[in-house]
Structure 1
Amino acid sequence: MQVTKRMLWLWTGVMLAGLPTGAYAQQAPIKIGVPVFLSGPAVGAFGEPSKNAATLVIKAMNAGELPAPYNQKGLAGVPIDMKIVDEAGSTATAVTEFKNLVQRDKVDVVVGYVSSASCTAIAPVAEELEVLTVFYACGASRLFDERDYKYVFRSSSSQTSDAVATARYIVKRFPDVKSFSGINQNYSWGQDNWRDFVLAMKVLAPKVAVDRELMPKLFAGEYGAEISALLAANSPIIHSSFFGGDLETFILQATTRGLTKNSRLLLTVGEQILARQGKNVPDGTIIGGRGRHGMLASENVLNKWFLDAYAKEFGGAVPNFPAYHMYSTLLGLKAAWEKAAAAKGGARPTTDEVIKAYTGLSFETASGPVKMALAKGHQGIEEVAVGTYRYNKETNKPELFNVETYPAECVNPPANMTPEEWLKKGMPGAKC
């Protein structure tokens, strides 16, 4: 990809037009950089919904239109100026664009990134540049396994919770399963997902065997050889953490080849494509959504506002879990910022003061409570829901049934263990 194709900016300072001209509008805005996929294979399922959510939520924040307790304008009364940039490209390009946001555009905070490769590359740079950086979607647990960070947070849960929740779902709903296979992308996200799912299954159903372990490269786009191997294995369950274009392409190729006639797909992040590709997803597929988001979200005031506002703004569209991740992450930043501002009598907090307020914070979202409980208070945990899919031909809408919800403490390790250590020790202390 040419670097010039990445220069797709969206400034939202214009959103401040029409706001009252008092002290609020006169304050220097808080600049937030938001890197999401604006091009490439992940734009449809991740980039566009995430961009939509960021634009919608920050516009509502500036206008003071979010439900309580998030109804104060901006961040503690200070308007927000958002700049959206394209995450697509190599990790080196992502790092360059991150540095541009900080050093050239002088952003106060960066909120973004889908790719776990981007997150692991950018986290140490955020530390070096001393800029508050909140990852909204990337899920590989190794982000915080390998070192501690001061400036880096992630309020969405790691992929460990997805793996444990789906393993618990399989063991409960399909107790006679004798084996399973997996097809996952060959980088940190796919590797960690598969590792944790296998380890969780060993704890919960030690006699269940692994048939095939397939790791095609990220955004390969062609899975003929892998589908042939899976057809030969004839496993009753096929685990996949594919996302974006890889997930959509794999489903189309797998169904065309008849893979799903005898094998049930388990898509740990499958909720992301249901609104777009619902007719193509086989009935009976097991679906996760990186927490309790999208079609799996809670029924509460924050969720109702989001569903209604998103549909109104984007022509009846339904937000998927990446959109919910962006919404939740922005709520977490707002909660931390306003807690820090309140501690100093309403004055604008420093980055260090926001970090102090964010560390260990608990806050409410459209998907239920998030607790910054791991990685010394920098990694969030939340409930996880898993369901079984069917397409309702009468309503022409996707549906999830037999939904199981798992408490955050059931599917995440305690604070004193890495996910791998916890799983290998048999998930001690899990509260289910």
Structure 2
Amino acid sequence: MRLLFSFGVRAALAVLAMLLTAPASLAQQPIKIGIVTLLSGPAAGPFGVPARNAAELTAELLNAGTVPAPYNQKGFGGIPIELVIVDEAGGPQKQVAEYRNLVPRVDIVIGYISSGDCLAIAPVADELKKLTILFDCGTPRIFEDASYKYVFRTGPTGTMDNVSVALYLTERYPNVKSIAGINQNYAWGQDSWADFENSMKALVPGIEVKTSQMPKLFAGQFGAEITALLASGAEVIHSSMWGGDLEGLVLQGAPRELFEKHKVILSAGEPAINRLGTRIPDGTIIGARGPFGPFAPDTELARWLRTSYHDRYHVPPNYASFKMAQAILGVKAAYEKAKGTGTAVPDQDKIIVSLENLTFEAPGGMVKMALGKGHQAIMDAAVGTTKVEGGLLKIVDIVRYPAEKVNPPDGVKSEAWIKSGLKK
């Protein structure tokens, strides 16, 4: 019996020694990342599913160590990552409940397309003290109206989108005299129209606002609003619509010559390129919520995402895909900065400190966590115009605007900055 006991002790000690000397990737449990994106409903196809696809692809290739430098170390600091994916559908109240259920199951949360969901989730993230990365939603209110320790957004706000299309429009059509808008009636649509309207008033004093149509989110049918726009006589029509609403506007407006009789701006129109193609009329001004999709720079990281994504899913990655990959890579950069050259796993507070004010490279270009006390990203903006050639839709006359030109200084609200005349 004593011999068996001695043997058992020696075996247990041997196993313990193996665990203590094992590589971190074997001894350490995977880092669990909650991914929240729209997997059902009208925004799933153009936004949510491409974002989920990019999350799964990026995680797989990071774990394999096949992402280009500076992200070629496997996983996060050699530790594999594991995704827990949640559907964002259902609205803010449901998402808060889903978030509370998700937090105990994961180490980090990355998610949210809807601005309404982001506004609801941010204070709960600080309440629960869980590092949460907003990857897409565009309302600038997140960090302009509040301050958070545990919340970051690695993508730019809608302010940049609407300032850049206003600059683009006035540079090409300096004699424009009137505008109108059709935007979804919630935080994103309201903020986008306000930013565009105020940018135009700053750039073209005396500009006339003919009408602002605000249909409810995911209304899908816009017959009455299109009639009002056609009757308005506005030279330019602005829309920040996305998802099924954007597609509905294009498919219902084009046959009624909305795009022929007016210069139409789609500030978040890039995802429609893959889905609608040549049904988007010639001469439409298109934005991509940043330098994403066909607007991305020609870098090794951009080529990696385009090629890997297309090989896996047989379509190009759109801006939702770019922004999801960007969020994951940003967290990886912060994690590995916090970890340094040591072997100890960094705690959440160290990762937060590393992510604040971080500058990192992503497939869309350089990302600077420069606003919201280092919690809000800025990037260069890109805008172009559609043109059908050889049966294909192309983006031509692309202009890039430096991040500092299309974003307010830190601590200044977007609305005040725009109304000041975009002064730095």
Match status 1:102 vs 2:103: yes
* 8 Å Cα contact 1:117/1:188 also seen in 2: yes
Map of 2:76 onto structure 1: 75
Aligned equivalents of 2:287 and 2:402: distance in 1? 14
Match status 1:407 vs 2:406: no
Give, in angstroms, the shift of residue 92 of structure 1: 0.8
Aligned equivalents of 2:97 and 2:275: distance in 1? 32
Secondary structure of residue in 1 paired with 2:270: helix
Give, in angstroms, the shift of residue 258 of structure 1: 2.1
Aligned equivalents of 2:368 and 2:357: distance in 1? 7
After superposition, residues 332-343 of structure 1 pair within 5 angstroms as: 332-342=330-340
Q: Percent identity?
A: 48
Aligned equivalents of 1:417 and 1:92: distance in 2? 30
Listed one character per residue, the Cα deviations across residues 372-417 of structure 1 (whole Å, up to 9, x for unaligned) are 000000000000000001222x2x4321111110000000000131
Q: What amino acid is the match of 2:161?
A: D
Q: What amino acid is the match of 2:37?
A: V
Secondary structure of residue in 1 paired with 2:181: strand
Q: What amino acid is the match of 2:377?
A: G
Aligned equivalents of 1:236 and 1:83: distance in 2? 47
Aligned equivalents of 1:129 and 1:72: distance in 2? 31
Q: What amino acid is the match of 2:418?
A: L
Map of 1:263 onto structure 2: 262
Secondary structure of residue in 1 paired with 2:423: coil
Q: What amino acid is the match of 1:66?
A: V
1:350 to 331, 347, 350: 347
Secondary structure of residue in 2 paired with 1:340: helix
Listed one character per residue, the Cα deviations across residues 146-205 of structure 1 (whole Å, up to 9, x for unaligned) are 110000000100000011100000100111211010000111000100111111111111
2:356 to 346, 356, 359: 359
Give, in angstroms, the shift of residue 304 of structure 1: 0.6
Map of 2:42 onto structure 1: 41
Listed one character per residue, the Cα deviations across residues 29-64 of structure 1 (whole Å, up to 9, x for unaligned) are 111000111100001110111011001001011111
Aligned equivalents of 1:259 and 1:63: distance in 2? 49
Listed one character per residue, the Cα deviations across residues 14-41 of structure 1 (whole Å, up to 9, x for unaligned) are xxxxxxx954134201110001111000
Map of 2:393 onto structure 1: 398
Aligned equivalents of 2:88 and 2:26: distance in 1? 30
Q: What amino acid is the match of 1:41?
A: P
Aligned equivalents of 2:221 and 2:413: distance in 1? 34
TM-score scaled by structure 2? 0.93
Moved segments of 4+, more than 6 Å: none
- In structure 1, runs of 5+ residues without a counterpart are 1-20
Q: What amino acid is the match of 2:271?
A: Q
Match status 1:322 vs 2:320: yes
Give, in angstroms, the shift of residue 347 of structure 1: 1.7
* 8 Å Cα contact 1:25/1:79 also seen in 2: no
Aligned equivalents of 1:49 and 1:211: distance in 2? 36
TM-score scaled by structure 1? 0.92
Q: Rg: which structure is higher?
A: 2
Map of 1:278 onto structure 2: 277
Map of 2:249 onto structure 1: 250
Q: What amino acid is the match of 1:73?
A: K
Listed one character per residue, the Cα deviations across residues 69-114 of structure 1 (whole Å, up to 9, x for unaligned) are 00011111111010111001121111111111113xx201000100
After superposition, residues 100-179 of structure 1 pair within 5 angstroms as: 100-103=101-104, 106-179=105-178
* 8 Å Cα contact 1:185/1:217 also seen in 2: yes
Aligned equivalents of 1:178 and 1:426: distance in 2? 18
Aligned equivalents of 1:48 and 1:264: distance in 2? 31
Map of 2:420 onto structure 1: 425
Secondary structure of residue in 2 paired with 1:270: coil
Secondary structure of residue in 1 paired with 2:344: coil
Q: What amino acid is the match of 2:75?
A: G
Aligned equivalents of 2:260 and 2:276: distance in 1? 19
Listed one character per residue, the Cα deviations across residues 315-365 of structure 1 (whole Å, up to 9, x for unaligned) are x210011110111111111111110011x7242111100000000000011
Aligned equivalents of 2:388 and 2:122: distance in 1? 40
Count of paired positions: 403
* 8 Å Cα contact 1:271/1:321 also seen in 2: yes
1:173–1:43: structure 2 CA closer, same or farther, 3 Å change rule?
same
Give, in angstroms, the shift of residue 208 of structure 1: 1.8
Listed one character per residue, the Cα deviations across residues 285-332 of structure 1 (whole Å, up to 9, x for unaligned) are 000001100010000000011111111111x21001111011111111
Aligned equivalents of 2:143 and 2:268: distance in 1? 21
Aligned equivalents of 1:357 and 1:397: distance in 2? 44
